[in-house]
Amino acid sequence: MGNACGRRTRHRHDTRPPTVPSPDKIVHQEPHIPPPNYGPAPPDPLSTRNGRVMGSLPYAHVDSALRSLAGQAEGFGRSAVGGLHGPLYRVTTLADDGPGSLRDGCRKKEPLWIVFELSGSIHLSSYLNVSSYKTIDGRGQRIKITGKGLRLKESEHVIICNLEFEGGRGPDVDGIQIKPNSKHIWIDRCSLRDYEDGLIDITRQSTDITISRCHFSAHDKTILIGADPSHVEDRCIRVTIHHCFFDGTRQRHPRVRFAKVHLYNNYTRNWGIYAVCASVESQIFSQCNIYEAGQKKLAFKYLTEKASC
């Protein structure tokens, strides 16, 4: 083979051993492998949302601070603030009336956050009227109301928390009676059983009410919402009932006329007639509830009624 000058060039194989770089000069290059794509990371069970620690017990973020309870209601009663802006009132006696009694605190006109210095039963000789802007806070003690019940008459912004109601006697005696024209009410973590009439009655244009995490037992007519077909003004009533346990109560979980009612995450079992009853112009949204029938299988009942006008 010739080159550019016409000379022949001999190509010889280089027999010299290859030069091997010293180990400290060897650079290892790993092949590039892209990281796996697993999609978005799952939520942290202890992450916070709206100031709450998710995955913890209900109200764990508020029970450590007394007044943090106010404004925590869900549903139609979410605006209830109770006695948030008032001083503490300490119940120091289990007497029906008198200084330091529950009745004395509830009749006062100014906002009050009512707490208990002792546990025990308060036997009421007559309905105990609860005025506006009151929180009756039974946390930390065990308070049982007997004899009669609480009445919210033209009251607003009332919170009732951690009380027991049992053994109310007399005609038209309810555990908690809400009428007329009461609004922004929250009943939370209460236990109610064995009253002469209803456990909770909501009638006569009372609205924006939440009942949450309550236990109902040993009773017939549990919750009435809307009095009768002649009370067409009850079309304004709005009630939320959630995370409640209806434990063998016979009927009215609830019984509804005219009102708008949202039921969610409740557990009803072993009712005696029906679980939920709707009649004249009522609207019930039932969501994620459990109905465990015993001998009676009728969970939802509709009664034909006609409004008076």
pTM of the entire predicted model: 0.81
pLDDT of 56: 58
Which class for 76: exposed (0-12), middle (13-18), buried (19 or more C-beta within 10 A)? buried
- Mean confidence (pLDDT) of the chain: 86
The residues annotated as belonging to the active site are 252
- CA-nearest of 59, 99, 95, 66 to 82 is 66
What is the structure's pLDDT at 306?
Answer: 84
- Is there a contact between 195 and 173 (Cβ–Cβ < 8 Å)? yes
Answer whether 120's CB lies under 8 Å from 144's CB. yes
CA geometry: angle 149, 152, 158, nearest 5 deg = 110
Q: Where do the domains of the chain lie, and which CATH numbers do they carry?
A: 64-302 (2.160.20.10)
Q: What pLDDT does 308 receive?
A: 76
Percent of the chain past pLDDT 70, that is, above it, reads 80
Contact between 144 and 118 under an 8 Å Cβ cutoff? The reply is: no
**Residues in contact with 91: Cβ distance below 8 Å, sequence separation at least 6, in sequence order:** 100, 101, 102, 105, 114, 115, 116, 117, 118
pLDDT at 65: 80
By the 8 A CB rule, do 192 and 219 touch? yes
Residue type, 210: T
- pLDDT tens digits in sequence order for the chain, 309 residues long: 444 444 444 444 445 555 544 444 444 444 454 544 434 444 444 344 444 444 556 667 777 688 999 989 999 999 999 999 999 999 999 999 999 999 999 999 999 999 999 999 999 999 999 999 999 999 999 999 999 999 999 999 999 999 999 999 999 999 999 999 999 999 999 999 999 999 999 999 999 999 999 999 999 999 999 999 999 999 999 999 999 999 999 999 999 999 999 999 999 999 999 999 999 999 999 999 999 999 999 999 999 888 876
Contacts of 17 (CB under 8 A, 6+ apart): none
| 163-189 pLDDT tens trace | 999 999 999 999 999 999 999 999 999
Check residue 57 and give its pLDDT: 65
pLDDT at 161: 97
Give per-residue pLDDT as tens, 17-70: 555 444 444 444 444 545 444 344 444 443 444 444 445 566 677 776 889 999
The predicted pLDDT at position 59 comes to: 67
